[in-house]
């Protein structure tokens, strides 16, 4: 037990902030029911440590947890295979209701389990060390008795690593150790409980009482000695992890009408920043379907240049210097070693193909894939993403080295020619065309390169780059406008609309009137309430694309339609799940999440929309709980707060959203 102050029985004091993940935290409700072992994707919260991500369902089961890093084959993957995938279960053995929320300013999750006989609280964290991430991967689940007594059971059932390994549980003098294909996971416990170990799982039962504390911990390594943790130190690691997250969010500067939602998205993005290299994973999972019919299942545990560009832009504006430089350095190291391509591994290498795994997939919707077919596609928008992120970095006061300047000059020169070629486009399509957004991406690359050259950062020919950029704009105006639609279309020769065109409304390639008309057409033809499909014809094939809707909000704001943008943003934020996590897509008819999650592009688009509508990036985000000194999640429920003048007790109400 710690001497820190008490956590109030209520997880939140506010009445709910859309998009922050705090709307339902005070109101216990039945857990989301499982069907054939699956829960809807909306039921998942995400925790992580900068190397991996775990998905925690609201019934207390962890159904996804790669150990020790995100792009290893997952040791626990019941979200894709409820029978053989593996999971870490912890829940009451009697009927219960749940309420949950993140500890403000952190990615530490607290869940209340309310039963007829009492209440227990579970705190979930992938813990960090004194100096940042631990040398091993550590998951800690703390159980605290709040009132009465609650009988609870837990199970650690390792999976088959998507059908590629046979798990085994070894009994050792230091406790049970799970082994599978080079990965070792130690299971540790703290507190009075009955434990059972066999060859395939480790399980136990416990009963809470007021003030009781139990801990279930997992520590994992790969192809190295097995670290056996002290369970009391694992328990103390939760407080350390909370403070580490709070130290990070103290550096986060944003005040605006959706400050809580923006901070929650920034925290979700922080989960996806691969701390060993600075790369940004596109999502925390693989193979979650974009369509109920299957076939659109992709591995997003890679780093897209596009996502890194958006992350650097946002983090620069939030004043987060370390992540900005790490992501920038990863990008430039990678493109110096390899030609610009769509995405890379988290270690900065080229991706190697795609393999299908013999497991059923979420709700039986396959295929389950390892790898991504788009790794060898030509996507011309990558030029704009790369040059845009470099300009953002340099304009923030940083400098380029000579070798990077040379490489980027070559990239700009290639863009002068490449824009005339067909490509797969931003949507990674098999049908190649001269997509409007691809051409505009090349134009953006050339304008950024010209600016950098004129400021003395690149040695290239700024006059040539500006001339070619104007040629691209003239081509787009002449070939990609539809009089019938009164909008810019997906590519010449079609009347299909494409929401990605909205990314370029601030690039001044045409008049505000025509760009505003394009936004109107996209909302009219691709809209489903506040949501948008990616492009024409997708209404019956897949869910709406979350990022596209936020791109629309941003476009409306940049075009001066600020009241519309604010109302649209408010409507969109109601689509987040109960803890503020976003997937890639949302079924417009049912509201169900589709696609991988947490999805970096969705959270990034939310952030950029909020920044476009308005907000003060010199202000700190302050949670409503800060005004009453929101404490640590491990504190016993009966003691009053006595911290005095720390950050949580001295926050100014004027800076709260």
> Residue 505 belongs to a domain with what CATH number?
1.50.10.10
Determine, yes or no, domain membership for 417: yes
pLDDT band at 345 (very low <50, low <70, confident <90, very high): very high
Determine, yes or no, domain membership for 34: no
Q: What percentage of the chain reaches a pLDDT higher than 70?
A: 89
Specify whether 103 is located in the same domain as 146: yes
pLDDT band at 341 (very low <50, low <70, confident <90, very high): confident
Pairing mode of beta strands 97-102, 183-190: unpaired
Specify whether 146 is located in the same domain as 192: yes
Q: Is the dihedral of CA 39, 42, 44, 49 positive or negative?
A: positive
d(CA 77, CA 653): 43
Determine, yes or no, domain membership for 20: no
pLDDT beyond 90 at 645: no
Range of the domain at 73: 41-249
Share the mean pLDDT of the chain: 90
Specify whether 486 is located in the same domain as 437: yes
**Is the preceding omega at residue 188 within 30 degrees of 0, hence cis?**
no
Specify whether 279 is located in the same domain as 222: no
Q: What is the DSSP string of 158-213?
A: ---TTTT---EEEEETTEEEEEETTEEEEEEEESS-EEEE-SS-EEEEEEE-TT-E
Under DSSP, is residue 54 helix (H, G, I), strand (E, B) or coil?
strand
**Cβ contacts of residue 59 below 8 Å, gap of 6+?**
31, 32, 34, 39, 43, 91, 98
Confidence (pLDDT) at 42:
99
Determine, yes or no, domain membership for 645: no
Confidence (pLDDT) at 8:
36
What CATH number corresponds to the domain at position 219? 2.70.98.50
The residue count of the chain comes to: 657
Confidence (pLDDT) at 255:
85
d(CA 279, CA 320): 15
pLDDT band at 621 (very low <50, low <70, confident <90, very high): low
Residue 349: half-sphere exposure toward Cβ, Cα within 13 Å: 6
Q: Which helix (H) or strand (E) holds 606?
A: helix 600-613
Specify whether 120 is located in the same domain as 143: yes
Q: What angle do CA 88, 93, 96 make, to 5 degrees?
A: 100
Mean pLDDT, rounded, for 274-301: 96
Last residue of a domain, one of 249, 265, 291: 249
d(CA 449, CA 389): 11
pLDDT beyond 60 at 14: no
Under DSSP, is residue 294 helix (H, G, I), strand (E, B) or coil?
coil
Contact 291, 541 (CB under 8 A): yes
pLDDT band at 256 (very low <50, low <70, confident <90, very high): confident
Confidence (pLDDT) at 618:
61
Contact 212, 608 (CB under 8 A): no
Last residue of a domain, one of 233, 249, 265: 249
- State both tokens at 23: 């709307």
Lowest-confidence segment of 114-128, 307-321, 460-474, 558-572 by average pLDDT = 307-321
Under DSSP, is residue 353 helix (H, G, I), strand (E, B) or coil?
coil
Lowest-confidence segment of 209-218, 554-563, 595-604, 629-638 by average pLDDT = 629-638
First-to-last C-alpha distance (Å) of the chain: 34
Confidence (pLDDT) at 18:
56
CB atoms < 10 A from the CB of 9, how many? 12
d(CA 32, CA 92): 14
The model's pLDDT over 22-58, given as tens digits with 9 standing for 90+, comes to 455 578 999 999 999 999 999 999 999 999 999 999 9
Mean pLDDT, rounded, for 228-244: 97
d(CA 598, CA 603): 8
Tokens 């994992």: give the residue.
220
Confidence (pLDDT) at 474:
99
Contact 240, 306 (CB under 8 A): no
pLDDT band at 352 (very low <50, low <70, confident <90, very high): confident
Contact 209, 162 (CB under 8 A): no
Q: Is the dihedral of CA 605, 274, 370, 46 positive or negative?
A: negative
Mean pLDDT, rounded, for 90-98: 99
Q: What angle do CA 110, 112, 114 make, to 5 degrees?
A: 175
The two counts, helices (H) then strands (E), for the chain are 12, 30
Determine, yes or no, domain membership for 488: yes
Specify whether 463 is located in the same domain as 593: yes
Specify whether 178 is located in the same domain as 102: yes
**Is the preceding omega at residue 487 within 30 degrees of 0, hence cis?**
no
Give Cα 178 distance to the centre of its chain. Answer: 28
- State both tokens at 169: 């549980």
482 forms beta bridges with 487
Between these two residues, 72 and 640, which has the higher pLDDT value? 72
Specify whether 507 is located in the same domain as 590: yes
The model's pLDDT over 529-566, given as tens digits with 9 standing for 90+, comes to 999 999 999 999 999 999 999 999 999 999 999 999 99
Specify whether 239 is located in the same domain as 256: no
pLDDT beyond 50 at 628: no
Confidence (pLDDT) at 615:
64
Specify whether 56 is located in the same domain as 161: yes
pLDDT band at 13 (very low <50, low <70, confident <90, very high): very low
Tokens 């170990």: give the residue.
197
Q: Is the pTM of this model over 0.85?
A: yes
Q: What total of structural domains would you count in the chain?
A: 2
Mean pLDDT, rounded, for 220-248: 96
pLDDT beyond 90 at 265: yes
Confidence (pLDDT) at 619:
56
Last residue of a domain, one of 249, 277, 300: 249
Confidence (pLDDT) at 5:
31
pLDDT beyond 50 at 78: yes
Say which DSSP state 555 is in: H
- Helix runs in 533-597, H state only: 546-558, 562-573
Confidence (pLDDT) at 637:
39
Specify whether 486 is located in the same domain as 562: yes
Confidence (pLDDT) at 630:
32
d(CA 572, CA 241): 31
pLDDT beyond 90 at 354: no
Determine, yes or no, domain membership for 628: no
Specify whether 245 is located in the same domain as 257: no
Determine, yes or no, domain membership for 428: yes
Give Cα 355 distance to the centre of its chain. Answer: 24
Under DSSP, is residue 359 helix (H, G, I), strand (E, B) or coil?
coil
Determine, yes or no, domain membership for 224: yes
Lowest-confidence segment of 173-187, 374-388, 462-476 by average pLDDT = 374-388
Confidence (pLDDT) at 627:
30
């Amino acid at each position: 037990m710690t001497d820190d102050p008490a956590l109030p029985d209520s997880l939140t004091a506010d009445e709910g902030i859309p998009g922050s993940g705090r709307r339902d935290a005070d109101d216990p409700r039945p857990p989301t029911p499982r069907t054939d072992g699956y829960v809807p994707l909306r039921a998942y919260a995400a925790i992580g440590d900068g190397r991996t991500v775990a998905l925690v369902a609201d019934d207390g089961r962890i159904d996804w947890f790669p150990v020790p890093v995100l792009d290893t084959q997952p040791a626990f993957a019941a979200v894709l295979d409820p029978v053989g995938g593996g999971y870490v279960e912890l829940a009451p053995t009697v009927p219960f209701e749940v309420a949950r929320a993140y500890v403000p300013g952190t990615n530490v999750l607290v869940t209340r389990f309310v039963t007829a006989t009492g209440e227990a609280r579970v705190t979930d964290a992938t813990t960090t060390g004194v100096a940042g991430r631990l040398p091993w991967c550590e998951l800690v689940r703390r159980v605290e008795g709040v009132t009465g007594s609650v009988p609870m059971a837990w199970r650690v059932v390792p999976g088959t690593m998507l059908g590629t390994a046979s798990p085994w549980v070894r009994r050792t003098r230091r406790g049970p150790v799970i082994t599978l294909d080079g990965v070792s996971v130690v299971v540790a416990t703290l507190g009075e409980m009955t434990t059972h170990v066999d060859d395939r799982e480790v399980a136990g039962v416990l009963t809470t009482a007021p003030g009781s504390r139990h801990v279930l911990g997992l520590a994992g390594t790969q192809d190295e000695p097995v670290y056996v943790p002290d369970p009391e130190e694992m328990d103390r690691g939760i407080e350390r992890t909370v403070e580490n997250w709070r130290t990070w969010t103290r550096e986060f500067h944003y005040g605006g009408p959706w400050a809580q939602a923006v901070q929650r998205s920034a925290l979700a993005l922080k989960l996806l920043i691969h701390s060993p290299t600075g790369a940004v994973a596109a999502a925390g999972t693989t193979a979650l379907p974009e369509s109920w019919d299957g076939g659109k299942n992709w591995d997003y545990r890679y780093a897209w240049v596009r996502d890194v560009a958006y992350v650097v832009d946002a983090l620069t504006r939030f004043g987060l210097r370390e992540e900005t430089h790490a992501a920038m350095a990863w990008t430039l190291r990678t493109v110096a070693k390899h030609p610009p391509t769509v995405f890379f591994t988290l270690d900065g290498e080229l991706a190697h193909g795609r393999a299908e795994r013999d497991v059923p997939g979420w709700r039986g919707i396959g295929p389950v894939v390892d790898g991504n077919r788009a790794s060898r596609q030509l996507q011309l928008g990558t030029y704009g993403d790369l040059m845009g992120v470099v300009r953002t970095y340099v304009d923030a006061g940083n400098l380029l080295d000579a070798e990077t300047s040379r490489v980027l000059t070559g990239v700009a020169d290639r863009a002068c020619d490449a824009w005339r070629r067909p490509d797969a486009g931003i949507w990674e399509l098999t049908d190649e065309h001269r997509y409007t957004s691809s051409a505009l991406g090349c134009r953006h690359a050339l304008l950024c390169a010209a600016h950098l050259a004129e400021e003395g950062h690149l040695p290239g020919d700024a006059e040539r780059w500006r001339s070619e950029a104007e040629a691209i704009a003239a081509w787009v105006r002449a070939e990609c406008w539809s009089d019938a639609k009164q909008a810019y279309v997906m590519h010449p020769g079609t009347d299909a609309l494409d929401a990605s065109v909205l990314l370029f409304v601030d690039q001044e390639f045409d008049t505000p009137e025509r760009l505003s008309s394009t936004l109107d057409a996209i909302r009219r033809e691709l809209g489903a309430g506040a949501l948008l499909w990616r492009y024409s014809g997708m209404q019956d094939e897949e869910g709406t694309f979350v990022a596209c809707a936020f791109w629309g909000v941003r476009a409306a704001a940049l075009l001066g339609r600020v009241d519309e943008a604010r109302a649209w943003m408010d409507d969109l934020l109601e689509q987040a799940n109960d803890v503020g996590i976003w997937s890639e897509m949302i079924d417009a008819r049912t509201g169900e999440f589709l696609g991988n999650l947490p999805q970096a592009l969705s959270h990034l688009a939310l952030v950029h929309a909020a920044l476009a509508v308005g907000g003060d990036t010199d202000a700190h985000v302050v949670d409503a709980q800060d005004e009453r000194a929101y404490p640590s999640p491990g504190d016993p429920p009966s003691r009053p707060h006595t911290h005095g003048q720390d950050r949580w007790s001295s926050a100014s109400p004027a800076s709260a959203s």
